[in-house]
Structure 1
Amino acid sequence: MKCIFSLIVALGMSLTIQLAAQNQPVHQLRIYELTKKNKEVFHERFKTEAIRIMNKYDFNIISVWETEFEDKVEFVYLLQWETEAALKKGWEGFMADQEWKDIKKVTSAKYGSFVEKIEDRTLWVQDYSPKKKF
């Protein structure tokens, strides 16, 4: 009986830990390798157009950076989402947004390519992280 009780407690704790993890925010790190000739136009488009449209789809941009790495210009930003489902839904909405599609089409026709490569990383906060939400 004692063994069964211990097993029930262990399973309950495991379920509690899993549910708590599901309630933790999900972070997303995006790294874009930019074309050097269009770097300034990219920044302007992101600042004035992309962020405004992203806000319609509940993007929570924590911060943005630029770096040079191995002679490449990179644009990096960190997002925070309530859940993985919210992350997926947000990106689906943004990528399907007709206004964003039109902006990309017009600016690409005028300036050429902006982004050579995109890296996308989903980050899960660890229980010992000093800060779980930003």
Structure 2
Amino acid sequence: MPHRLRRWGLIAAALTAAALFTIPTSATERATMIEQLRIYEIFESNKEAFHARFRDHAARIMKTYGFDIAAMWEARTKDRTEFIYVLRWPDEATMRQSWARFMQDAEWSAIKDRTSAEHGRLVGGIEERVMQRTSYSP
């Protein structure tokens, strides 16, 4: 139970911090805008390789497909190490289309293959939450 509480505490902190980075400028943007929380299990044995791949390649390629990364964190619990980040999207359709294009990107595919061959599996489980702000969210 403490593990779960700690995990949700980290998620709450991540969402609070992400909220500080996102200020919709119109009522329409507020109504359709979404944020996406991504949590990757990463491994202590090769986490530096994961961070290098995300920092030097994934984030750069994501940007070409319209990804707007609000913030990134690393969190460690008793059981695992996590890489957490929040993305901002104008709407869910854009999010889905951008992810599909990113996952089909030839450069990204080659980088994943190369880094996995060099360092082993860099990502374990992946969790995702697609979130829409409440009408009373700051």
Report the TM-score range of the alignment, normalised by the length of the smaller protein: 0.7 to 0.9
Opposite residue 127 of structure 1, the aligned amino acid is S
Residue 36 of structure 1 and its aligned partner are, at CA, apart by: 1.3
Counterpart contact for 1:23–1:83, Cα < 8 Å = no
Match of 2:41 among 21, 33, 38: 33
Aligned position for 1:113:
121
Counterpart contact for 2:72–2:84, Cα < 8 Å = yes
Residue 22 of structure 1 and its aligned partner are, at CA, apart by: 8.1
Aligned position for 1:10:
none
Count residues in correspondence. Answer: 112
Counterpart contact for 2:33–2:89, Cα < 8 Å = yes
Instruction: Kindly name which structure, 1 or 2, has the bigger radius of gyration based on alpha carbons.
Output: 1
Residues in 2 aligned to 1:63 and 1:48: alpha-carbon distance in whole angstroms: 16
Match of 1:58 among 66, 75, 100: 66
Q: Equivalent pairs: percent with the same residue?
A: 44
Is 1:44 aligned to 2:57, yes or no? no
Aligned position for 1:92:
100
Residues in 1 aligned to 2:115 and 2:29: alpha-carbon distance in whole angstroms: 41
SS across alignment from 1:77: strand
The runs of 5 or more residues in structure 2 that have no matched partner are 1-26
User: For 1:59-116, what per-residue CA distance to the aligned partner results, in whole angstroms no more than 9, with x for missing partners?
Assistant: 0000000001233100000000000001001100100000000000000011100011
Q: Which runs of 4+ in 1 moved over 6 A?
A: none
Q: TM-score, normalised by structure 1?
A: 0.79
Residues in 1 aligned to 2:28 and 2:51: alpha-carbon distance in whole angstroms: 37
